[in-house]
Chains A and B, each alone.
Chain A
């Protein structure tokens, strides 16, 4: 039987390290694009203030970027360390996007980030601008490949189980790349990153404006951040990740859990704005429902039904029955690879093999499962409804608040009149929201996928390494300590750099603008960088 404590600790460790990693990633995504936009203005207009802005926000970008890189190393190796069976079971499919991410995206990002910082004055302005855009491109492509990998965990297309190698193998690589779930996740996630970058620039600029410091730089930054923020927040809301939730039964289950929708409603279904979902009674108490809304969001149609949890559990039970056929045939194949009848039986039912594996939490041999155990396994496909219900609503709330903040900011920046003080206080207060929304979003996506590590293919509790609880305890404590110390250091350095402000860049008359040309004339002092 599986060691459930080991499974829980492995999940806890992955959640800790992944959510910590994602504190740094969205800001990197958003700021890289903003840096490239600022530098573009500099190169097009030749106004050095835009170069100084690029350098100043670049400094903050760098402090954040390096922790994204450092904690990303953990992610790349944690699959093998803590999820060895998973790694073997799906490495053929899941490993490829990770490897291509390194080759195509991370190399680009990491090589050019070094030259972004060290290359000022070593090349023409246009060449440096190209470097910055390539760095931003690398960052965003990196997100694309990671989300192709993650999207496949949510919706495992283009792969089948091979009984000769006892693992999933790719059957259609193009389908893995063009996975609609992955595409939806990519657009949603990078947009969330852009929101984060915009909110960061907006908030820090607001701080300077409130203090009456670095007004020139702060105002320009505020304008560009509010415009970029409006576009990004609209994109993150309109291109919500939910668009991918109607494709498979498991994604439908996630959607039903988010909505605490126990019964199938006639289309288009209503949206439960508030309520208290009760897992025992299979009901949502004190529900406040808004007709039509979720049906429209979820299906983008008015006549398509969204199935409720109770119906989906029935579907799961049918999958389990079919999965048992596959499991039984697989046992025969294991002892005799040449058993053609077993192979044919297996191929008919293999898509449901994972459902039979769900039974392993109750009984070592799924073929011996009692009807009650089959029923329990079917119910185990329902994720925790209350936690998804609330986290999703807070994520959406924060998203709309951010959109409002960006819209109001943009409205005032487009007017001639002096903007009121509360505008900047509001921008400063909104600073933590994108991070909260992003973390909640990952919680909804990944916790909502439970009990599966690969939807419908492999249950999470089977996927771990054969480690001891002691191993996990040591590394969880270790990661927590190191990560906590690094978080304190990062925030301290960030605040120190913000407090110090951009003067150090503005004072230096170097670089490659008009001033640099004067400075590099014979007799003039050499540029300072």
Chain B
């Protein structure tokens, strides 16, 4: 049993799943922080209302953001080639994300430290940028990944990237950016509807219902675009070596417009994942209307999870396809860390992730309850 669990191929599969878990954990937690930032100018008009919106995430954004940091670290450790290629390849886009993500924590912490209206308005813009820009760019990155990215390796396995920032901003990628933005705006609205009170929650519910519907339509539309073959697709045609050394060179991959549907056609039950995603998004839209905040938030989370899982399932076993040198694509079975590292990291995850989830749950329980203008009034200088 332990032998099978720690077999190289199994470990690679587990880490592929964990990569998805991390991305979903990031989107489900930090995602609503970003959504709240993007919604800030629209759902909260007065300074008090803005403070209500900000303070719903005030105590938890730091912990939530660790999903993002951990995502970076885990990709570095478990998929070094993916880390090296995607971060250097999407260089200027990553810089924009970094820029936005640096503004965000500072915005949360510093915004209400001064009374000046200009000061607060500027930080509100920083929070808007810090929420909307990464939400959009993460989607753009996924859109480029689906289409293939222009890269190859030298025989020393030095990654060489041949694209530009503007190449990344192509229509199909921007379409995926909109899916991501709509999804995280919905998620932020679901959080606000659940956690805020008064007009902020009302407006959030109204925006959220629309965002959920748009996310559902765009996501379904994305499926149609893939079915039409517009995104292209890549298929490994040489036999897959499940437990060979992690060297992406020496396999053959062909371009095939229907490749991203192969897994679904091969195992039709997988269609349950995108179907569940669309159902969850529609239920969330209804939940916003019915003001069932708790249920809406859960449905929103489920919708986000299914969207991310669908992308992973469509591409498996490919993680990052190359548009210029298809054979150099990174796959689950040739781009991972060594067996020892995957095993050590799995042990660390098995020990620490439950602990993290336990104390995170405790913190959310301590903070249970709605945030209102009165809460902020009473909190004095501890509130944001």
| Chain B residue with Cβ nearest A357 | B156
Task: Say yes or no for A162: interface residue by CB 8 A criterion.
Answer: yes
CA distance A169 to B80 in the complex (A): 11
List A contacts of B59 (CB < 8 A).
Answer: 114-115, 117-119
Given contacts A69-B62, A100-B345, contact A529 B380 (CB under 8 A): yes
User: Which of B95-103, B179-187, B262-270, B280-288 interfaces with chain A?
Assistant: B95-103
* Contact yes or no, B109 A73, CB < 8 A: no
B382, chain A: closest CB distance, angstroms: 5
CA distance A493 to B109 in the complex (A): 11
CA distance A114 to B55 in the complex (A): 11
List A contacts of B92 (CB < 8 A).
Answer: 471, 474-475
Using an 8 Å CB-CB cutoff, how does the interface string of B45-67 with A read, 1 for contact, 0 for none? 00000000000001111110110
List B contacts of A474 (CB < 8 A).
Answer: 92, 95
CA distance A171 to B338 in the complex (A): 10
List A contacts of B114 (CB < 8 A).
Answer: 493, 496
* Contact yes or no, A91 B245, CB < 8 A: no
Task: Say yes or no for A74: interface residue by CB 8 A criterion.
Answer: yes
User: Which of A75-83, A189-197, A214-222, A386-394 interfaces with chain B?
Assistant: A75-83
Interface residues of A in 103-161 (CB under 8 A from B): 103-104, 106-108, 110-115, 117-120, 122-123, 134
List A contacts of B158 (CB < 8 A).
Answer: 84-85, 88, 466
* Contact yes or no, B101 A81, CB < 8 A: no
CA distance A94 to B84 in the complex (A): 13
Interface bracket on B: 35 or more
List B contacts of A180 (CB < 8 A).
Answer: none
Task: Say yes or no for A72: interface residue by CB 8 A criterion.
Answer: yes
| Chain B residue with Cβ nearest A497 | B113
* Contact yes or no, B352 A95, CB < 8 A: no
* Contact yes or no, B102 A91, CB < 8 A: no
List B contacts of A115 (CB < 8 A).
Answer: 59, 363, 366-367
CA distance A38 to B233 in the complex (A): 60
CA distance A108 to B363 in the complex (A): 11
CA distance A264 to B91 in the complex (A): 47
Find A87's partner among B58, B84, B341, B383 (CB 8 Å cutoff). Answer: B84
* Contact yes or no, A120 B382, CB < 8 A: yes
Using an 8 Å CB-CB cutoff, how does the interface string of A481-508 with B read, 1 for contact, 0 for none? 0100010010001001100000011001
Interface residues of A in 290-322 (CB under 8 A from B): none
Given contacts A66-B106, A99-B345, A162-B245, contact A466 B157 (CB under 8 A): no
* Contact yes or no, A88 B247, CB < 8 A: no
Task: Say yes or no for B353: interface residue by CB 8 A criterion.
Answer: yes
Find A110's partner among B63, B91, B337, B379 (CB 8 Å cutoff). Answer: B63
Find B88's partner among A84, A100, A102 (CB 8 Å cutoff). Answer: A84
Given contacts A69-B105, A114-B61, A466-B158, contact A96 B382 (CB under 8 A): no
* Contact yes or no, B73 A98, CB < 8 A: yes
* Contact yes or no, A114 B62, CB < 8 A: yes
Find B366's partner among A99, A122, A497, A505 (CB 8 Å cutoff). Answer: A122
* Contact yes or no, A95 B77, CB < 8 A: yes
* Contact yes or no, B85 A76, CB < 8 A: no
* Contact yes or no, B102 A466, CB < 8 A: no
Task: Say yes or no for A70: interface residue by CB 8 A criterion.
Answer: yes
Task: Say yes or no for A478: interface residue by CB 8 A criterion.
Answer: yes
| Chain B residue with Cβ nearest A464 | B88
List A contacts of B70 (CB < 8 A).
Answer: 99, 102-103, 106-107
Q: Residue among A80, A108, A122 with the most chain B CB within 10 A?
A: A80
CA distance A66 to B62 in the complex (A): 9
Given contacts A92-B337, A169-B340, contact A466 B60 (CB under 8 A): no
Task: Say yes or no for A210: interface residue by CB 8 A criterion.
Answer: no
Find B87's partner among A80, A103, A334 (CB 8 Å cutoff). Answer: A80
Interface residues of A in 35-94 (CB under 8 A from B): 59, 62-63, 66-67, 69-74, 76-77, 79-82, 84-85, 87-88, 90-94
* Contact yes or no, B69 A102, CB < 8 A: yes
CA distance A403 to B178 in the complex (A): 57
Given contacts A82-B88, A91-B83, A110-B65, contact A62 B77 (CB under 8 A): no
Task: Say yes or no for B3: interface residue by CB 8 A criterion.
Answer: no
Task: Say yes or no for B238: interface residue by CB 8 A criterion.
Answer: no
List A contacts of B295 (CB < 8 A).
Answer: none
* Contact yes or no, A529 B382, CB < 8 A: yes
Per the CB 8 Å criterion, the residue count for chain A at the interface is: 80
* Contact yes or no, B76 A88, CB < 8 A: no
Task: Say yes or no for B94: interface residue by CB 8 A criterion.
Answer: yes
A380, chain B: closest CB distance, angstroms: 20
* Contact yes or no, A111 B109, CB < 8 A: no
B371, chain A: closest CB distance, angstroms: 10
B351, chain A: closest CB distance, angstroms: 8
Using an 8 Å CB-CB cutoff, how does the interface string of B348-384 with A read, 1 for contact, 0 for none? 1100110010011001001100000000001111110
| Chain B residue with Cβ nearest A106 | B66
Given contacts A103-B348, A108-B359, A169-B338, contact A465 B76 (CB under 8 A): no
Task: Say yes or no for A411: interface residue by CB 8 A criterion.
Answer: no
Task: Say yes or no for A166: interface residue by CB 8 A criterion.
Answer: yes
Interface residues of A in 159-216 (CB under 8 A from B): 162, 164-167, 169-171, 173
CA distance A204 to B72 in the complex (A): 37
List A contacts of B104 (CB < 8 A).
Answer: 70
CA distance A119 to B105 in the complex (A): 19
* Contact yes or no, B352 A103, CB < 8 A: yes
CA distance A486 to B98 in the complex (A): 14
CA distance A169 to B101 in the complex (A): 32
| Chain B residue with Cβ nearest A470 | B92
List B contacts of A90 (CB < 8 A).
Answer: 80
B59, chain A: closest CB distance, angstroms: 4
Task: Say yes or no for B110: interface residue by CB 8 A criterion.
Answer: yes
* Contact yes or no, A110 B66, CB < 8 A: yes
Task: Say yes or no for B197: interface residue by CB 8 A criterion.
Answer: no
Task: Say yes or no for B108: interface residue by CB 8 A criterion.
Answer: yes
* Contact yes or no, B76 A98, CB < 8 A: yes
List A contacts of B360 (CB < 8 A).
Answer: 107, 111
B160, chain A: closest CB distance, angstroms: 5
Find B62's partner among A113, A134, A493 (CB 8 Å cutoff). Answer: A113
CA distance A88 to B383 in the complex (A): 43
CA distance A492 to B66 in the complex (A): 28
B89, chain A: closest CB distance, angstroms: 8
CA distance A100 to B352 in the complex (A): 9
Given contacts A76-B69, A95-B337, contact A467 B91 (CB under 8 A): yes
| Chain A residue with Cβ nearest B87 | A80
Given contacts A73-B98, A103-B348, A467-B88, contact A164 B110 (CB under 8 A): no
Task: Say yes or no for A526: interface residue by CB 8 A criterion.
Answer: yes
Task: Say yes or no for A528: interface residue by CB 8 A criterion.
Answer: yes
* Contact yes or no, B245 A504, CB < 8 A: no
| Chain B residue with Cβ nearest A117 | B382
Given contacts A66-B106, A118-B59, A122-B367, contact A91 B80 (CB under 8 A): yes
Task: Say yes or no for B344: interface residue by CB 8 A criterion.
Answer: yes
State the 6 A-B residue pairs at the shortest beta-carbon distance, nearest first: A91-B80, A80-B87, A95-B77, A102-B70, A95-B76, A111-B63
What are 28 A-B interface contacts by the 8 Å CB criterion? A66-B108, A66-B110, A70-B101, A73-B102, A74-B98, A81-B91, A81-B94, A84-B84, A84-B88, A84-B158, A87-B76, A87-B83, A92-B80, A92-B338, A95-B73, A95-B77, A96-B344, A98-B73, A101-B73, A103-B353, A112-B359, A114-B59, A118-B58, A166-B157, A170-B340, A173-B340, A475-B92, A496-B113
Given A98-B77, A99-B70, A117-B382, 7 further pairs, Cβ under 8 A: A76-B72, A80-B84, A87-B76, A91-B80, A471-B91, A475-B92, A478-B95
A residues with CB within 8 A of B: 59, 62-63, 66-67, 69-74, 76-77, 79-82, 84-85, 87-88, 90-96, 98-104, 106-108, 110-115, 117-120, 122-123, 134, 162, 164-167, 169-171, 173, 334, 465-467, 471, 474-475, 478, 482, 486, 489, 493, 496-497, 504-505, 508, 526, 528-529
